[in-house]
Structure 1
Amino acid sequence: MECCGGHSYVDFIESPYFNKTNPVPLSCCTLRTKDPLNPVPTNKAECFKSANEQDTKPNVYLHTTNCTGALENWLSSKTVILVSVAFAVAILQLLGIVFACCLRKEILGGEKF
């Protein structure tokens, strides 16, 4: 999604797992490859330098957008698909209930409940 952190990349700066030499995860930098197991930044030094400066302007080497907003944008762009899938699942559930009732009636030989 090309984003970093819940609010911004600054979320990582106060973390005990990161320091001045590694202020943000490599996934916060712009990457050459899309491999999540082996992220390769386009320019690691410039990315970390930008993170240490805490510059909030759009940056070529560092993703400055927050992931919360990016996720909301992605979900809103997929709303029609998500609602359609939920509706289809609901219809399948109702059909399953109807068929189960019909099967029960056949098994009991048409007897009433």
Structure 2
Amino acid sequence: MKSLKSRVETLCQASGADYTIDWSLSGLPYQTGEGELIGAVIGAVESVTNDPPSLSTDGGTSDGRFIAPTGAQVIELGPINRTIHRIDEQVNLHDLDLFPRSTKTC
């Protein structure tokens, strides 16, 4: 966040514009590191899909950001969903079949 603020401030100053920025942060980002939970989920998903899952933070804002600071391992597991939270949200039916099988394996 500091580097983003610094870059924005530098650009604003360079523009010569008269500006004011009110920064606010609703929650810190997180990414759970390697651990027992991550290992179990990777193994479960891979055993069902024959493909290792990708670990990413591409899912957007999450309530997990409030749990992670407690030291708990936090994961969010779900199907690929490029239309999430949009009108006419869609999920691939094949992915819906894989999800419960993966979670049962955990």
TM-score range, shorter chain: under 0.3
The structure carrying a bigger helix percent of its residues is: 1
Tell me which structure has the larger Cα radius of gyration. Answer: 1
TM-score (norm 2): 0.24
